[in-house]
Amino acid sequence: MKETAHLVHDYLRSSKRFPHIWCAGCGIGIFMQALIRVIDREGYSKDDIVLISGIGCSGRLPVYVDFNTLHTTHGRALTFATGIKLANPRLKVITVMGDGDAVAIGGNHFIHAARRNIEITSFILNNNVYGMTGGQSSPTTPPGAVTASSPYGNLEPDFDICRLAEAAGAVFVARSTVYHTRLLERVIGMALNKKGFAAVEVVSQCTTYAGHFLKLKSPVEMMKWQKDNSIPIDKAKDMSDAELEGKIVIGVLVDRERPNFHEQYQRLLAEKSKV
């Protein structure tokens, strides 16, 4: 309790009007707590952290925490993050995006931030739905799901965000659910320490909308579903695609080295700068 009180007082904004806007049972708060715990444990200065979001339920996260916080436009968090990181490389730049935010409207920015390997730690809170607008299908909604915008069933296949990040060049890719809080904190820590573009998919529950089409009636059922359907990457390696159908592969999926953009730019500056 003592530790929680310290985290609440040190990291949540006392000047901000609460309660928060998230529905009861939403997974975003679990992620927010995990992020705060790791930042506190790793000893980052609050002044050096810039927390940037796009639009949607996840977009509302930064306002509650006492960092430099920026709530941008839909899908564009990574573009603002790019400008901030290059203007002041000393800053720890973190983005929080939703699934529609990051890989539908922001898909172009996502692949290019990964390709450039710009040092941004990005978290994609995947709840498989557009929650803020009332439960429409997103690029990660399962095929066949009946949503507000697919009343006859979703005709589109869903995206694997982690494979997209890997193919685009991210040097660190991991996935956890909000049920697996220890794993979540571990991969958050690893992502924050990575000197390049890191993408962490956080599978989260939207009990208000996604629970309906996933036929899971409560937050507890949804988190049990996360627990029962997750396969650690070490185990998944020996399984076939058919066996992994509908499963959530969790753990560190990619951890590799590649020159990052701002270090290369700093070298260019050292060479060319006349000031």
Partner 1 sequence: MRKQVLLQGNEACVEGALIAGCRFYAGYPITPATEIMEIMARKMPETGGVFIQMEDEIASLGAVIGASLAGMKSMTATSGPGFSLMQEHIGYACMAEVPCVIVDVMRAGPSTGLPTQPSQGDVMQARWGTHGDHPIIALAPSSVYEFFELTVQAFNLSERYRTPVILLVDEVVAHMREGVVLPQKDRLEIEDRLHPTMPPEWYIPYADPGTGVPPMSAFGDGYRYHVTGLYHDVRGYPTVRTDEVEPLIHRLFTKVSKDFDRLQWSDSFETKDARVTVIAYGCVARAALQAVQQARGKGLKVGLLKLKILWPFMRRTIAGILESSAKVLVPELNVGQISREVKRVNQSRCEVVTLNKVDGTPIKPAEILQTLEEIYP
Radius of gyration of the chain (CA): 18
The nearest distance, CB 167 to partner 1, in angstroms, is 16
| Per CB under 8 A, 190 contacts partner 1 | no
Q: Which of 7, 63, 231, 236 binds partner 1 (CB under 8 A)?
A: 63
Give the amino acid at 74.
H
The nearest distance, CB 203 to partner 1, in angstroms, is 27
Q: Which of 10, 48, 228, 257 binds partner 1 (CB under 8 A)?
A: 48
Nearest to 106 by CA among 53, 57, 150, 147: 53
Structure token pair of residue 59: 């977009």
The nearest distance, CB 173 to partner 1, in angstroms, is 20
The nearest distance, CB 58 to partner 1, in angstroms, is 14
The nearest distance, CB 166 to partner 1, in angstroms, is 19
**CB burial string 53-76: b at 16+ within 10 A, e below:** bbbbbbbbbbbbbbbbbbbbebbb
| Per CB under 8 A, 2 contacts partner 1 | no
| 23 vs 252, beta carbon nearer partner 1 | 23
| Per CB under 8 A, 225 contacts partner 1 | no
- Specify which residues 251 forms β-bridges with: 175
Residues numbered 71 to 110 that lie near partner 1 (CB under 8 A) are 71-73, 76, 79-84, 86-88, 90-91, 108-109
Q: How many CB atoms lie within 10 A of CB 23?
A: 14
Residue 91 CA to residue 46 CA, distance in Å, equals 10
Structure token pair of residue 247: 């499963």
The nearest distance, CB 34 to partner 1, in angstroms, is 21
CB of 185 closer than 8 Å to CB of 5: no
| 74 vs 195, beta carbon nearer partner 1 | 74
Q: Which of 31, 67, 172, 209 binds partner 1 (CB under 8 A)?
A: 67
Q: Where are the alpha helices (DSSP H) in the chain?
A: 2-11, 28-42, 77-87, 99-100, 107-116, 161-168, 181-193, 210-213, 219-229, 233-236, 241-244, 261-272
Q: How many residues bind partner 1 (CB under 8 A)?
A: 42
- Total count of residues recorded for the chain: 275
| Per CB under 8 A, 47 contacts partner 1 | yes
| Per CB under 8 A, 18 contacts partner 1 | no
The nearest distance, CB 15 to partner 1, in angstroms, is 6
| Per CB under 8 A, 268 contacts partner 1 | yes
| 13 vs 195, beta carbon nearer partner 1 | 13
| 66 vs 99, beta carbon nearer partner 1 | 66
- Specify which residues 249 forms β-bridges with: 231
Torsion-angle region of residue 169: left (phi > 0), alpha (psi -120 to 50) or beta?
left
Structure token pair of residue 198: 């890191």
- Interaction site with partner 1 (CB under 8 A): 13, 15-17, 46-48, 50, 60, 62-63, 66-73, 76, 79-84, 86-88, 90-91, 108-109, 112, 265, 268-269, 271-275
